[in-house]
Structure 1
């Protein structure tokens, strides 16, 4: 542990830090506007994620017992061709312009390199960060660290209500809700569909179990489409909703976290049917709107699909990379 001249301490983040991490993330949200709010339980989900090595991959900066900045580096247990480590971080608005942002980014990059040396030393390393495209301070910090923009993501919103149009299930396909019996089919579709997406790799069982264990997961608005003839699961959609967002904004949002179609079944209306069914279900369950994040260069043509369904762009995020 070290102490700087301003008496701020630095140490790895621990599970007991969930409450102060949530307070920090909400203070950052008030200025940087990601549209994400955190409860203590949500922050605990992030801290306990299986991709995080707390001792090697995280740094918390504390003023007494209050976290005022952090960085985390999430390695990938499975990697093909390139090992991409995602670095996240932020500084409380009251502690900015003191060099903490650059220091924490440097710490995150160092953590990424250390984790890479442990898990995938023979592969090239790429260190990724992502932020609101309007956050000029963060983007300048990335550029100063030698990072370059490589990808843009749109956060889309749908107002539900009269904007929800019915769409029939494509011929030969059967709709199922999420349950324990078809859980493995959801994961299989996800991993098949992501094979040709940028920087995508298979999701491990541990990652899958952890994310579906979040309190935000909404199985009642998560669906699978199956080929009626051969039983193949061909498309899936997972929905999440965070109570902390609702408490902060008064808006109950159904966020489509994952939408995937097996490559052999694309261009058959699978994704469109899943999205519209999820929108209808979200409306029936009293949600105020729906949302999704879309890769601007998605091979599945996500923007066009969502625009046809009535989504509009709410904000854009940009990903910067150091390395390959």
Structure 2
């Protein structure tokens, strides 16, 4: 357990200088810019194809990550180009400005399949961890601290690379899907509640409800308005729904994304439920079922073959069991690895 009586700056042991990858690795290193979105996405797609992953990254998603109002690309990103100028490796560190319980820094990186096995990945992990420690120390938040990354379980070499750098598996997630060409669940009628389509007028109330709902979920932290708005490139308003009580208060929500660039790799079109939550006082009354049933119908009406979502296997609300009862099955899984400070 983290000893928070020790000052954060001492606990994280931030180095004065971040170790840059050496010239002997064969690449030229510089910070990323927004203009690198297409090249970084192409690198990530080459990696995903080589690793046989059922999803792809778009340039829009990369740019969206980089243009957060709190980002410092000059210090928090790194791109490695070969002599022809092609991006062959990259890494980034990102913080979450709304953190109130645990202050976090998320790291990620990719190395072109043709350039693996040369020590580049090890250098990127070292760079990322050092920069993450600097960001945590500079946060000024005297809280438990965490450096975190996610790894698809289909790429164990990535997990081993991070473990060699001091990361340890801490949390496990399952990606689940449900076919839509079989009978869909009915939408239960719940006294004092109605399910309505998402609208811009409800958006910030949904954000506040989400912050409250996930306050008791491991690893979840409040999202500021800036964070909430920053993850919208794949948002599907017509596939998103809100549960309201008789007073018009948000008691539950289902926020969906439309990831068309994933469909060729997955082999089918799908709707993805990115966020699903129900306020504590309404749990156990089938609000989640009503929201998911509405979502499935919206997906099916637009010709989708599957409804998909991801769940923490230790989710305290029993979500995994709810999804399984509705016909969702595990498609693949991932792991969070961290350094707890």
How many residues align structurally? 321
The residue aligned with 1:69 is: 89
The residue aligned with 2:39 is: 20
Distance 1:43 1:202 in 2: 23
CA-atom RMSD in angstroms? 1.8
The residue aligned with 1:201 is: 221
CA deviation string 1:184-217 (max 9, x = no partner): 22112111101001021111000111223x1x11
Normalised by the size of structure 1, how large is the TM-score?
A: 0.94
1:155 is displaced (CA, Å) by: 0.5
Q: Contact 2:44–2:57 (CA<8 Å) still a contact in 1? A: yes
Partner of 1:161, secondary structure, is coil
Change (3 A) 1:93 1:315: same
* Range moving further from structure 2, 189-198 or 28-37: 28-37
1:50 is displaced (CA, Å) by: 3.9
Distance 2:21 2:47 in 1: 24
Matched, 1:39 2:58: yes
The residue aligned with 2:158 is: 138
List alignment gaps of at least 5 residues for structure 2. Answer: 1-19
Q: Contact 1:84–1:127 (CA<8 Å) still a contact in 2? A: yes
1:163 is displaced (CA, Å) by: 4.2
Matched, 1:153 2:170: no
CA deviation string 1:50-72 (max 9, x = no partner): 45321221111111321111111
Partner residue of 2:310 out of 277, 293, 311: 293
Q: Contact 1:68–1:95 (CA<8 Å) still a contact in 2? A: yes
Matched, 1:183 2:183: no
Q: Contact 1:241–1:252 (CA<8 Å) still a contact in 2? A: no
The residue aligned with 2:327 is: 310
1:78 is displaced (CA, Å) by: 2.2
Q: Contact 1:79–1:120 (CA<8 Å) still a contact in 2? A: no
Partner of 1:162, secondary structure, is coil
1:3 is displaced (CA, Å) by: 6.5
CA deviation string 1:132-187 (max 9, x = no partner): 12322111112211111110000011111114222223222111111111112211
Q: Contact 1:189–1:233 (CA<8 Å) still a contact in 2? A: yes
Distance 1:8 1:299 in 2: 45
Matched, 1:259 2:280: no
Q: Contact 2:92–2:107 (CA<8 Å) still a contact in 1? A: yes
The residue aligned with 2:240 is: 222
Change (3 A) 1:65 1:237: same
1:314 is displaced (CA, Å) by: 0.7
Distance 1:307 1:292 in 2: 12
Distance 1:152 1:253 in 2: 23
Structure 2 counterparts to residues 79-90 of structure 1, below 5 A: 79-90=99-110
Matched, 1:112 2:132: yes
Distance 2:298 2:336 in 1: 32
Partner of 1:70, secondary structure, is strand
Change (3 A) 1:322 1:275: same
Normalised by the size of structure 2, how large is the TM-score?
A: 0.89
Change (3 A) 1:244 1:154: same
CA deviation string 1:209-261 (max 9, x = no partner): 1223x1x1100010000112x32210001000122113544522211000011
List alignment gaps of at least 5 residues for structure 1. Answer: none
